[in-house]
Amino acid sequence: MLNDLDKILISEDQIKSRVKELASELYKDYGPDEEITVISIINGAILFTADLVRNLPGPVRIDCIRVSSYGDETTPIGEPKITSTLSLDLKGRHVLLVDDIFDTGNTISKVYHYLEEMQPTSIKTCVLLEKKARRIVEFEVDWVGFQIPDEFVVGYGLDYAQRYRNLRCIGVLKTALQPA
């Protein structure tokens, strides 16, 4: 799989230490006793969420939401669609929405507004990556792991055509492997 990368953008060690840092920032912000309801946008945020919550020593509940906007292409196909429901009740809870990457902003803002309707006490957002150059939605996330350039990346949960999610680093896919 590593041979399919043009370059490694973020190494496994860099990811590990930044995830730890993010978790301690979250822990400091929420405090030791506040229960956080973590909502992970799957499949992309699976790995990030798993590592993030393992570094949170306080009480956490976890649920997942499935959103689809990409097919086998590297550009989004229309509006993101929420294709699953949550099983946890969010009313009166502190919600932390977690995603792999904040790209155009469509996905996070769509899910954010969906969660708002469930009347949580608060909603904060945390993404591992942000591609500032591609923003089209006015929305600010609360925690960002890394700023990255406008390149299509895979690994650590991020896929191309459902592959490469299990790479331990994050890298830029060779252009020849991307659709024309």
Q: In the set 70, 112, 143, 156, which binds ligand IMP (CB under 6 A)?
A: 70
Q: What is the spatial distance between Cα 173 and Cα 171, in angstroms, rounded to a whole number?
A: 6
Select from 40, 49, 106, 125 the one that contacts ligand IMP (CB under 6 A).
106
**Three-class SS of residue 19?**
helix
* Segment contacting ligand IMP by CB under 6 A, of 18-26, 47-55, 69-77, 116-124: 69-77
Active site residue 29: no
Sequence-ordered list of residues with C-beta below 8 angstroms from that of 2, at least 6 positions apart, any chain: 8, 167, 171
* Binding mask of the shown chain, residues 35 to 54, with x at each position contacting Mg ion by CB under 5 A: ---------x----------
173 CA to centre of own chain: 19
Q: Report the alpha-carbon distance of residue 39 to residue 107 in Å, rounded.
A: 13
Closer to ligand IMP by CB, 105 or 120: give it. 105
Select the binding partner of residue 37 from ligand IMP, Mg ion, none (C-beta < 5 to 8 A, by kind). Answer: none
Site string for ligand IMP, 3-22 (x = CB under 6 A): --------------------
Element (H, E) at 144: strand 143-147
Separation between Cα atoms, residue 84 and residue 173, nearest integer Å: 29
Half-sphere exposure of residue 129, counting CA atoms within 13 Å on the CB side?
28
Q: Within positions 124 to 153, which residues make up the interface with ligand IMP, using CB under 6 A?
A: 152-153
Binding residues for ligand IMP, rule: CB under 6 A, are 41, 44, 69-70, 76, 80, 99-107, 152-154, 158
